[in-house]
Amino acid sequence: MTVTVHGPLEDGLGLEGRIAVVTGAAGGIGAEIVAELVRHRAAVAMVDRDGPALEEVAARLCKEAAVEPGTPEPRLLVVPADVSDGREVADAVERVERDLGPITHLVNAAGILRPGPVAGLSERDWDDTMAVNATGVYLMSRAVAARMAPRGFGAVVTVTSNAARTARTGMAAYAASKAAAQAFTKCLGLELAGTGIRCNVVAPGSTDTPMLTSLWEGADASRPSIEGAPEAFRVGIPTGRLARPEDVAQAVVFLLSERAGHITLQDLTVDGGATLGV
């Protein structure tokens, strides 16, 4: 399904007319990245295994936006697919290039969180977490890079987590999967540097999304994230607030843009100082 999206458009980042693929686009940070790319006049293929949720996001973007007179209308392509399935990934990439055109940008934002101590973590939880958060990044990046490399242009951004570098209690599978995605993206960037493709990482901290709020209990449950929790070895967020999805999306879009044209193999942390710059 191709959806025309209306809304306030911006330029100046060199993204107008580019074709981006965003995984995990059905909600949270992924959906906000889609919205940010649309504002910069990119065409976006929205990939997620939750097809109905993708349709809802696309419909909401259409409803909320309004076309500026004389401005070309950006395009959205809804592509239901499981990033942990190599066949589905290959089919999705083929469809994007057929229906939208040559892919120029990829954002790996799909992710799942299965919290719990290592002693209580099931093998299924571990396998599922690795399949989406790490293998999904490998499969999608490999498929897209194979198309972009011969064309000599492109950018990849993988959304990981500040937990990829900082130990967290109850998050071993998530942290390990994000560390794997981080390392993979940098290795990919090194291998592709000579082809004109840049690969970078954005590592959010606690962000106001359903993934985070599903862990909360009680009306004031965000306080441990913001103020810290010594019993869990968390120092809190120096800026005094959770990240908003748009904070992360704007960092991602900057690294995709021509303004970051000489930036590759980098890891940009967006966590309000929660990991103290380490």
Burial label, 122 (beta-carbon count in 10 A; 0-12, 13-18, 19+)? exposed
pLDDT at 223 over 90: no
pLDDT of residue 63: 73
2-205+243-267 carries CATH number 3.40.50.720: yes
pLDDT of residue 261: 97
- For residue 97, what are the contacts with CB-CB under 8 A and spacing of at least 6? 103, 147
pLDDT of residue 179: 98
pLDDT at 2 over 90: no
pLDDT in tens, 163-209: 999 999 999 999 999 999 999 999 999 999 999 999 999 999 999 88
pLDDT band at 10 (very low <50, low <70, confident <90, very high): low
DSSP symbols for 215-264:
T--STTTTHHHHH-BGGGTB---TTSSPBPHHHHHHHHHHHHSGGGTT--
- For residue 77, what are the contacts with CB-CB under 8 A and spacing of at least 6? 1, 2, 3, 43, 44, 45, 46, 95, 96, 99, 100
Each domain of the chain, given as residue ranges in start order, spans 2-205+243-267
CA atoms of 204 and 212, how far apart (whole Å) = 12
pLDDT at 44 over 70: yes
| Residue that wins the pLDDT comparison between 241 and 66 | 241
Its pTM stands at: 0.92
pLDDT of residue 65: 62
pLDDT band at 249 (very low <50, low <70, confident <90, very high): very high
Active-site residue flag, 174 = yes
Mean local confidence (pLDDT), 36-61:
94
Of 33, 145, 174, 192, which is the active-site residue?
174
Tell whether the torsion through CA atoms of 95, 250, 7 and 51 is positive or negative: positive
| Residue that wins the pLDDT comparison between 256 and 225 | 256
- For residue 153, what are the contacts with CB-CB under 8 A and spacing of at least 6? 104, 196, 197
The DSSP letter of residue 116 is: B
pLDDT in tens, 81-129: 999 999 999 999 999 999 999 999 999 999 999 999 999 999 999 999 9
Give Cα 18 distance to the centre of its chain. 17
pLDDT in tens, 26-38: 999 999 999 999 9
pLDDT of residue 215: 63
Buried b (16+ CB within 10 A) or exposed e, 73-112: ebbbbbbbbbbbbbebbbebbeebbeebeebbbbbbbbbb
